[in-house]
Structures are given as C-alpha cells and as structure tokens.
Amino acid sequence: MKKINVLLMAMIMLFMMSACNTNTEINSSESSNGLESSTDTTNTVSVPKDFVLIKGGTFQMGSPDTEAWRSNDETQHEVTVGDFYMSAYELTQAQYREITGENPSNFRGDNLPVENISWLDAIRYCNARSEKEGLTPVYTIDGSNITWDRSADGYRLPTEAEWEYACRAGTATPFNTETSISADESNYYGHYPYEIEDNYFSQGNLDTKPGEYRETTVSVSSFSPNKWGLYNMHGNVGEWVWDCYGDYGTAAVTDPAGAETGTLRVYRGGGWNDFAKNMRSAYRATLAENKGSFNIGIRLVRNAVSGSGSIISAGTESTAANGGKVLIAFFSWGGNTKGIAEEIQSQTGADLFEITMVNPYSSDYNTVLDEAQRDQNEQARPELASHIDNMEQYDTIMIGYPNWWASIPMPIASFLEEYDFSSKTIIPFCSHGGGRFGQSLTAIAKLAPDAAMGEALSIHYSGGGSLSEDIAKWLEANDITE
C-alpha cells in the first residue's frame, strides 16, 4: 500500500510540474509591446490584447430590397469568411504617431481615432507597424500595384466582407443594435436618426428620436461594443477596408477580396458627421486611395490562421488633363451655393453654368425638404432645363451644390450622368448647415469614377466674412489661377 501511495504522489508531482512548465512557456511568449498568446486548433499566433477573435461563418452580405435608404450597390448575396482577429477599437492617434511620428488628424487627442489618412497611408502604417513588432509585412507596394501576401502574419486592413461580417455580429438588421441606432449608442449627426427623412415634420413614427450632434470624434472606447466586443463599428470615423470598389454580383462566395482593379477604395461604418442612413451595416462609401478625410480612419486585423497565395490589387489612379478651361457648374436653391459660385467666378474668371430643372423644386422650404428626400430615396434623375454643348473644352469642372440630406441634390446626379468626365478633374464645393460634405463626395465618386477629384470645399451656409479668403486658399490648394 505504501508503494502505491508513493507512486501516486510521484505521478501527481510530475503532472503539476508539467502544468507549471506549460504556463511558463505561455507567459514567456508575452512581450513588452503588450502581446499575449492566443491559440486556435490549427495554429498559434500572438496578437495584441485588444484584438478580438472573430470566428468565421456564412452570412448575407448587402441589404434586402426592403431596407430603407439602401443603395443599388448593396446587392444581397451569401458570403463565407474564415477566422480572423480584429481590433476592438479604431486606431488611435497615439498609436499612429508612435509608428509614423506624424498625426494628420483634424481633431486632436491621443485616444481619439486617427483620421485624415488615405488608404495608401493605412497600407504603409500596417507594414511599418508589422516590421517594428517583428512580424512579416502583409503588403508589397510596386507603383500602383499593391500585393497582399495572405500568408503573412502582420497587420492588415479587413476585407469589405470581413468588416461587414464583424460589424453585423450575427444580426441581419440595418444596424448591429437591431434597432434604429441612437446618438446615445453611437457618435453621428444625431439630429438625423434613421428614417428621419420621411418623418422630419412628424416624428411620432420614428423608432429613435433626434439626439445629440457632437461635431467631433470621441474616444475609441466610447459607447457599448457590439455583441462580438467591437466598439464604434457604426459612427465616429469611417474605416478603410482592402477592397477596390465594384459590383458584388449575386453568386455565393468565400473570402472575397473585392474588384481586381478600380479607381476607388471602400470605407465602411460612417463617421461623426454622417446621418444614420449612411452608417448602416451594408452602406458602402468610396474615395480615391490617395485621398484622406476628417471622418475616415482605420481598424486593424490580423490572420488567425495562415492563408495562402497572394492578391494583386491594381488601384488605377484617375489621370486628368491639364491646361484646359475651367467650368463652374452649380445647383442652388436658397442662394447660398450661387453666392459661393459667383465668388469663385470673380476670383478665377472661369465660365459659370447654373444647373436648373425643367420642373423646379418648390420655393417653400418645408416642401422642398420633402421633395429632396423623395428624389434621393428614389434615386431620381430630374430632367435638366439647360445643357452644355461643348463639355470637351473643359479639363476642370468645379461642381457646387447644397448638402441635402447628407448627399448631393439629384439634379447634380443628372448633370454627372449626362457627360463623360473621363480624364477630367472634378472639384466639389458645397454649402451646408453643419454636416460638411456628408456622403456627397462618395456620391460624386460613384457617378464619375473615371474623373480625378480635387480638394473639396465645404462652406457653412453663405460663408460669412471669410468667404473670399477661404475660397482663395482653396483655389491655391487646387492650383487654380485666373
């Protein structure tokens, strides 16, 4: 009996020593940069502690035809994605500055999301951080060609499919809150909750009433996370993804990576100045890969399991001719945009063209609000009353409009679809009541993808006493001279 007890004690001691040694090995894998070991059934990878393991699965990407304010480019289709790690938070300014030594953000604060970075800036950041932390960089940059090594263990941008899958967190509703998202749940233009456009004067039917508009970004840890532990997937800043912008198609796909080529890159989620309709899980925003904005940042991902192969994405930057004439084309309802256009004309001597409709909108403010949201919701193309016979003589078209319901008025869409803007430069300017551009730049980019886009200008209402100076600086930034 004593021999059995001794043998039993020895086995227990051996087991405990083995367990202690295992714990020591796991702990020793943690490094000074905050990495902690996470293990799946096929591989062992170290990821930053603020990253969340997103288990893969199959979901319906895009939006159903019945979803209010959906766009035609949200074709619903079945998508399967594999496992990946995603940061619980948008990348902060402190994290960006630590790697690059720079902070291009419009709003300043270490724990605010970095913004005003282009898609190319985001790619370079991913590589630089990977190298600093001893990881294999994911991207190879060769001119306009970006190659994604799917086996690399470094930081990368999510694909558009990964982003939407993670944002939804198992939901199939317009927002991952499963109800109309409120300004207490997300940072956006809270005066304009979901479906406010149809209920502006009679808000009793709204699921969510108007709330606070903060007019700035907020800390990346603000509000409650979605069901999978991800913060601010709706609002605060939009987030660049890997994909070139293009049509989805209807076929079921696995781990899609977007169009092979394109002039625009996709960003998702909406920002601090967006209406709720443009924060939906399915909404797709676009911008040229070399452009940044005060409401676009990034959220990083890492592979959970090593992939295979590589993807070459040829981002084709739009080229524009130089030296031709400049046209100022504008649509104005209340006169603010017209006044801005006339000041631009006085400083440049450029040709001036007012976009007018065969059947003009009402002169009554309340009525025109209804008419404008109706046309946007229907993606109407109002017939224009006047036309340009010789558009080919213009290399640069400055397009002005009021920000209506966070986008362009539909007469602007009619104008953009009437002419060929290939090899031309479009320079937008808009008057607004607080939302700056909204998603009007995305709308213009989608309608004229083969045009280059210059630096846009937003003017609060009529611009006040600084209008002339603001326009002069903007013209200089776009190299427009008289």
Tokens 């993670």, residue located: 166
> Do 330 and 471 belong together in one domain?
yes
Residue 333 counted as domain residue: yes
Residue 33 has pLDDT above 90, yes or no: no
Q: Which of 262, 282, 315 is the last residue of a domain?
A: 315
Q: Which of 248, 281, 315 is the last residue of a domain?
A: 315
> Do 363 and 267 belong together in one domain?
no
Domain CATH code at residue 372? 3.40.50.360
Residue 20 has pLDDT above 50, yes or no: no
261-299: pLDDT as tens digits: 888 999 999 999 999 999 999 999 999 999 999 999 999
> Do 400 and 428 belong together in one domain?
yes
Q: What's the pLDDT at 38?
A: 40
Residue 180 counted as domain residue: yes
Residue 71 counted as domain residue: yes
> Do 278 and 347 belong together in one domain?
no
Residue 19 counted as domain residue: no
210-221: pLDDT as tens digits: 999 999 999 999
> Do 259 and 361 belong together in one domain?
no
Rounded Cα distance between 232 and 167, Å, is 9
Range scoring the smallest mean pLDDT among 98-112, 216-230, 304-318:
304-318
Q: Give Cβ neighbours of residue 459 (< 8 Å, ≥ 6 apart).
A: 336, 340, 429, 430, 431, 432, 467, 470
Cα of first residue to Cα of last residue in the chain, in angstroms, is 105
Q: Which residue has the higher pLDDT, 438 or 13?
A: 438
Work out the pLDDT band at 202, boundaries 50, 70, 90: confident
Work out the pLDDT band at 315, boundaries 50, 70, 90: low
51-100: pLDDT as tens digits: 999 999 999 999 999 999 999 999 999 999 999 999 999 999 999 999 99
Give the domain range for residue 266. 48-315
Residue 9 counted as domain residue: no
Q: What's the pLDDT at 48?
A: 80
Q: Which two tokens stand for residue 412?
A: 């602007």
Give, for 94, the enclosing helix (H) or strand (E): helix 93-100
Q: Name the 3-class secondary structure at 414.
A: helix
Residue 37 counted as domain residue: no
Q: What's the pLDDT at 110?
A: 98
Considering the entire predicted model, what is its pTM? 0.87
> Do 310 and 175 belong together in one domain?
yes
Number of domains in the chain: 2
Closest among 317, 321, 401 to 361, alpha carbons compared: 401
Contact 444, 264 (CB under 8 A): no
> What average pLDDT does this structure show over 314-333?
79
Would residue 234 be called left, alpha or beta, if left means φ above 0 and alpha means ψ between -120 and 50 degrees?
beta
> Do 377 and 459 belong together in one domain?
yes
Domain CATH code at residue 198? 3.90.1580.10
Contact 399, 426 (CB under 8 A): yes
Rounded Cα distance between 271 and 298, Å, is 12
Residue 1 counted as domain residue: no
Q: Give Cβ neighbours of residue 173 (< 8 Å, ≥ 6 apart).
A: 179, 281
Rounded Cα distance between 464 and 357, Å, is 28
Q: What's the pLDDT at 341?
A: 98
Q: What's the pLDDT at 318?
A: 57
Residue 15 counted as domain residue: no
356-403: pLDDT as tens digits: 999 999 999 999 999 999 999 899 999 999 999 999 999 999 999 999
> Do 100 and 202 belong together in one domain?
yes
Query: Percentage of residues in the chain with pLDDT exceeding 90?
Result: 82
Q: Which of 273, 297, 315 is the last residue of a domain?
A: 315
> Do 340 and 311 belong together in one domain?
no
> Do 191 and 94 belong together in one domain?
yes
> Do 78 and 210 belong together in one domain?
yes
DSSP 340-374: HHHHHHHHH--EEEE--BSSPPPSSHHHHHHHHHH
Mark 83-118 as b/e (b = at least 16 C-beta within 10 Å). bbbbbbbbbbbebbeebbeebbbebebeebbbbbbb
> Do 158 and 60 belong together in one domain?
yes
